[in-house]
Amino acid sequence: MAYCSLFKLSRASPATIAALNRDFLLVPKFMQALDQVELLAECQRALRKASWCESHFDSVIKNYRETHVSRLTLFPRIAQLLKRCTLLLRSQLNLIEPHILELAPNGEILPHLDQVHLQVY
């Protein structure tokens, strides 16, 4: 499940709305406009020193830049959002170190599995 408040759903077709309801958890007003502005500012600050890459090591992400957020105390809005997501889903999310990814205008993310862990007994 995912959340996206930036989409203008008022113009979406009934088929699009049905697909979103099936594949996403939509939470109206989960983030206010000011929350989004402040979160974007933190993400941009975190990405400040990140370099642009043409392709990810596994070629599923193209034309992007990425950074890891290892010290959430430096990014309180990101920390707050992760906490709210955990409370909303009523679970302990086993997240890897949070990371921020920005696509260039010609960037893309192809379908793939991320962070698959295999345990062999």
| Tens-place pLDDT, residues 39-85 | 899 999 999 999 999 988 778 899 999 998 888 888 888 888 888 88
Whole-prediction pTM value?
Answer: 0.66
Instruction: Compute the distance between CA of residue 65 and CA of residue 56 in angstroms, rounded to an integer.
Output: 10
- Is the same domain home to 81 and 23? no
Instruction: Compute the distance between CA of residue 53 and CA of residue 65 in angstroms, rounded to an integer.
Output: 6
- Is the same domain home to 25 and 84? no
pLDDT tens, position by position, 3-40? 344 445 667 788 877 887 777 777 778 888 888 888 89
Confidence of residue 92 (pLDDT cuts 50, 70, 90): low
Question: For residue 44, what pLDDT is reported?
Answer: 92
- Is the same domain home to 44 and 69? yes
Please say if the pLDDT value at position 105 is more than 90.
yes
Look at the block and give the residue holding tokens 């992760």: 82
Instruction: Compute the distance between CA of residue 63 and CA of residue 55 in angstroms, rounded to an integer.
Output: 6
Q: How many domains does the chain have?
A: 2
The DSSP symbol for 86 reads H
62 beta partners: 55, 108
- Is the same domain home to 61 and 4? no
Residue 52 in domain? yes
